[in-house]
Chains A and B, each alone.
Chain A
Amino acid sequence: QSALTQPPSASGSPGQSVTISCTGTSSDVGGYNYVSWYQQHPDKAPKLMIYEVSKRPSGVPDRFSGSKSGNTASLTVSGLQVEDEADYYCSSYVGSNNVVFGGGTKLTVL
């Protein structure tokens, strides 16, 4: 399966909102409501931020939200904070118990 498509970079100023896209096909993102988003700080393991398109695990601030339209999923970070600067990865179920990740987006807080 091919990796999902994410923009290599995104940026915003503290307090602003930024949206990161994750584009797939009808066989993955568009076909299932099983899109997850992960935050990864340098030299750290990824952390689950969103699952099943828009659900937040306990402890994740509500500044993080997820949505999906057709074959594209999105992660929105509102009220940007300095500590939000990290790499973000999406993933999607692709059927037959397989999962695929996006290429990752580096979020810079200016």
Chain B
Amino acid sequence: QVQLQESGPGLVKPSETLSLTCTVSGGSLSHSYWTWIRQAPEKGLEWIGYIYYTGSTTYNSSLKSRVTISVDTSKNQFSLKLTSVTVADTAVYYCARDRAAAGKLDYWGQGTLVTVSS
């Protein structure tokens, strides 16, 4: 059974960089697209982007200038960096597995709340 767990600071100051890591257990990173999704308070889901296990990435065009997703196959982890954050980036951030790069997100982490505040 694949399990995902997000980790990282729960509070980030405006203009700084949000950094989160997702640790995958119960399976390898191979042949899957590892995805970040976020959900602002009382709002819907927003797809941020994903990384294939080989390292190729695709990002939401609205966030592309600020987002970097990377992978560390030796640790079975992938990470999210979002630069120049504002209060609008306050959200629960989820990591998930997409088997087909088409939105089939079959395993999710529990999510982690990141608050942007001074």
Please give the residue numbers on chain A whose beta carbons come within 8 Å of chain B beta carbons, in ascending order.
Answer: 1, 3, 32, 34-36, 38, 45-48, 51-52, 57, 89, 91-93, 96-104
A3 touches B105 (CB 8 A): no
B9-17, B24-32, B40-48 - the one binding chain A: B40-48
Is the CB of B53 closer than 8 A to any CB of chain A? no
Closest to B101 in A: A97
Closest to A32 in B: B102
Q: How far is the CA of A105 from the CA of B45 in the complex (A)?
A: 12
**Provided the pairs A34-B102, A46-B45, A91-B103 are in contact, do residues A96 and B108 lie with their beta carbons within 8 angstroms?**
no
Q: How far is the CA of A101 from the CA of B62 in the complex (A)?
A: 14
Cross-interface CB contact of A98 among B60, B105, B109, B110, cutoff 8 Å:
B60
Write the B83-110 contact mask toward A (1 if CB under 8 angstroms, else 0).
0000000000010001011111110111
Interface-central residue, B47, B50, B98, B109, by most chain A CB under 10 Å: B47
What 6 A-B pairs come out closest when comparing CB atoms?
A34-B102, A97-B58, A45-B108, A91-B103, A93-B102, A99-B103
A36 touches B61 (CB 8 A): no
A44 to chain B, nearest CB (A): 8
Closest to A50 in B: B104
B111 touches A45 (CB 8 A): yes
**Residues in B whose Cβ lies below 8 Å from that of A99:** 47, 98, 102-103
B102 touches A45 (CB 8 A): no
Interface-central residue, A3, A36, A89, by most chain B CB under 10 Å: A36
